[in-house]
Amino acid sequence: MAMIHSAPRGNREARPHWVAAREGRLAMPFCQPCNAWNWPPAGACPHCGTALTWRDCSGAGRVVSFSIVRRAVQPEWKDHAPYVVAVIELAEGVRLLSNVVDCPAEEVTMGAAVQVAFHETTDPELGLPVFRLVG
């Protein structure tokens, strides 16, 4: 059962990420001169200082770390516990914190292949990237 998540707050630098998610795209900041993805987003590349652009990623990745939350922290998650909070390493090399959804929490393992999916938020302009197990 899909849920509508609380909208991300603050962080103007990340807004393109959340807007793209609402459109069904996983967009991440990219530095052209360094040929490198950057996360978390910032106004400029932390290595060379060049302004970052936004590019779409494949959405494919692997679980590199995870935790099963058995007691929901936010009220809207109460009926969804247990749920998985995971560090996902995208095929592009960037890591981000997200949820693995639509499977029993006990099926998630280190190294599991995942693919991005998107959930609605309480802000009609912003979406939330989440991940599903592949296979």
Looking at residue 26, its amino acid is L
Q: Is residue 54 part of a domain?
A: yes
Domain annotation covers residue 2: no
Range of the domain at 115: 13-133
Number of domains within the chain = 1
Q: Which of 120, 122, 115 is nearest to 101 (CA)?
A: 115
Asked, for residue 17, whether it belongs to a domain, the answer is yes
Residue 2's pLDDT is what? 62
Residue 1 lies in a domain: no
Q: Mean pLDDT across the stretch 26-46? A: 95
Confidence of residue 1 (pLDDT cuts 50, 70, 90): very low
pLDDT, residue 77, reads 81
The mean pLDDT of the chain is 93
pLDDT tens, position by position, 108-135: 999 999 999 999 999 999 999 999 999 8
pTM over the 0.85 mark: yes
